[in-house]
A and B are shown apart, each in its own frame.
Chain A
Amino acid sequence: MSEGRDEVHAYTIRLELVDEPGELLRALHPIADNGGNLLSIFHERGNLTPRGHIPVEVDLEATPERFDTIVEALRDAGVNVIQAGAERYSEEVTVLLVGDLVQTDLSNTLSRIQEGTDASVTDVSLSAPEGTENGSSARLRLAIQSGEADAVLDSVREVAAEKDLRAIEPLAAGGEA
């Protein structure tokens, strides 16, 4: 996964700001100063967080490395970061399922995979050229938390084994050559 370090990803950061003039601008400086590209700002002036602050959602683009620096810089500047995109789904893993996908209830298979882990299925492609017989395949893209790939793949394997499906996994992190 190391080649992903130079790729630009989209991230969402949730901040909470004190209701004082200039606070929003102060919060955006660390993003711009550290190479983040602002995409949108959603400033919920009407709402208050439980602590009585104003929630702000910022979408931005950055490389993973710069994103880490941005979050750090925000915290250094005293801005309260509620949730940073990278902490939720920071990795993606693609896995193929092969076998009698339709008869074994693909949508149930997908929800089982999501229930068993914190993974989120973001994309599914199905190919069943030979009808519903063995030989149909599905490609799943899963958004997962950093470092969770092994656990998620274990869970995929478990669900697949139960339904007599075959999971074709990517190589573990570091193995993508």
Chain B
Amino acid sequence: MRVAVLGAGDVGRSVAELAGEYGHTVTALADSSSAVADPDGIDVAAALDRKHEEGQVGTAAPDAALDGAYDVLVEATPTTLEDAQPGFGHVRTALERDRHAVLANKGPVAERYDELRELEAASEGSVRFEATVAGAIPVLSTVEDYGPGHINAARGILNGTANFILTRMAAEGLGYEHVLAEAQDMGVAEADPTFDVEGIDAALKCVILANVLAEGERTYHLDDAEVEGITDVPGSALDLAHEDGRTIRLVGEITGDAVRVGPRLVPEQGDLAVGGTTNIVQLETENAGRLNLSGRGAGGPETATAVLSDVGRLPDL
């Protein structure tokens, strides 16, 4: 397939770099201020070098990628809330052009799911978004294979940064601020960690999963989720939990029509007590008991594999 990539952060760059390995041709790459496009395929390495050296992937205007030649548009610009722009507009343009759209950007799927599905229904193209939930872990395609109607509940650890912080606090007896600073030094937490530590990122993923599980019966938005973060979880709480054979994890939960994210007590030796930046999703299936899917929930190449497996599942246009 011919792939246009919008967004040249970790995920967008990795998609561009790995697409060839998966048998696809990158026909465009754009960052926030420039683009490079060629219907026969761009020189990915040269574009990324230019990005590294000059801060821009190309010399064309960013719209050159969106309006260029491609079968599938990969939307990997930063997640934005509420109107989810400019990501939503990018996907709209692709679908209105009867092209496919694959999202790594959570905003449009969490905040404007019904509109996204309406645009898809009116288009020859399809929308896929495996990369928006738990990075490399094939959660949505597993749900698709089982059939959302055969899954009664889902819960999981969906934010590696928050999980890393809680794991380190429990293991080393260190306070939140100390571990956060360490995580920022290691590149595990961003300079502004709000999205991760306040539970917003995990909530977006839960909302997306809830939308898929609801099969159009209702639509969820971030506002529908009850969200609590980990910033005021003290070390003493982790100590008391440990004395009792438990620990605290930032758990996202979808049960019935409730979406909830918050610090919860889980058995220390249980499946949900994954360590470090690992993510896990548990699906309660109707006929097959509990499924545990775990692995890397973030990172450029990891998330890019989810994007590219979506691209591989798309029908020819």
Contacts and interface: CB of A to CB of B under 8 A. Distances in A.
A175 B255 CA distance: 10
A171 B266 contact: yes
Contacts of A172: 253, 255
A166 B282 CA distance: 26
B160 interface: no
Contact of A139 (B232, B244, B263, B292): B244
B3 to A, nearest CB: 38
A168 B243 contact: no
Contact of B232 (A129, A166, A176): A166
Given A94-B244, A177-B272, A177-B290, A168 B236 contact: no
With most chain A CB atoms within 10 A of its CB, the pick from B235, B237, B239, B241 is: B237
A137 B240 contact: yes
Nearest to A97: B237
Contact of A96 (B232, B253, B265, B272): B265
A125 B232 CA distance: 19
A166 to B, nearest CB: 6
Nearest to B175: A135
Contacts of B243: 125, 139
A98 B235 contact: no
A127 interface: yes
Contacts of B235: 129, 135
Contact of A168 (B248, B267, B282, B290): B248
B247 to A, nearest CB: 11
A168 B232 contact: no
Interface string A34-48: 000000000000000
Contacts of B270: 176-177
B236 A127 contact: yes
A130 B234 CA distance: 10
B290 A169 contact: no
Contacts of A177: 266-267, 270-272, 282, 290, 292
Nearest to A125: B240
B177 to A, nearest CB: 11
Q: How large is the interface on B (under 10, 10 to 19, 20 to 34, 35 or more residues)?
A: 20 to 34
Contacts of A95: 265
B265 A168 contact: yes
B46 interface: no
B237 A168 contact: yes
B24 interface: no
Contacts of A99: 232
Which of B228, B233, B236 neighbours the largest number of chain A CB atoms within 10 Å of its CB? Answer: B236
A77 B282 CA distance: 45
Interface string B267-295: 10011100000000010100000101000
A127 B272 contact: no
A52 interface: no
Interface string A85-117: 000000000111011000000000000000000
B100 interface: no
B234 A135 contact: yes
Contacts of A170: 246, 264-266
A127 B267 contact: no
B246 A171 contact: no
B66 interface: no
A138 interface: yes
B155 interface: yes
Given A98-B232, A168-B263, 13 more contacts: A94-B244, A96-B240, A98-B234, A127-B237, A128-B236, A134-B232, A139-B241, A168-B262, A171-B155, A171-B264, A175-B155, A177-B270, A177-B282
Interface of A: 94-96, 98-99, 125, 127-130, 134-139, 166, 168-172, 174-177
17 contacts: A94-B265, A98-B233, A125-B240, A127-B240, A128-B236, A134-B232, A136-B234, A136-B236, A137-B237, A168-B237, A168-B262, A171-B264, A171-B272, A172-B253, A174-B153, A176-B267, A177-B272
Interface of B: 153, 155, 228, 232-237, 239-241, 243-244, 246, 248, 251, 253, 255, 262-267, 270-272, 282, 284, 290, 292
Ranked 5 nearest A-B pairs via Cβ: A127-B236, A137-B237, A135-B234, A139-B240, A177-B271
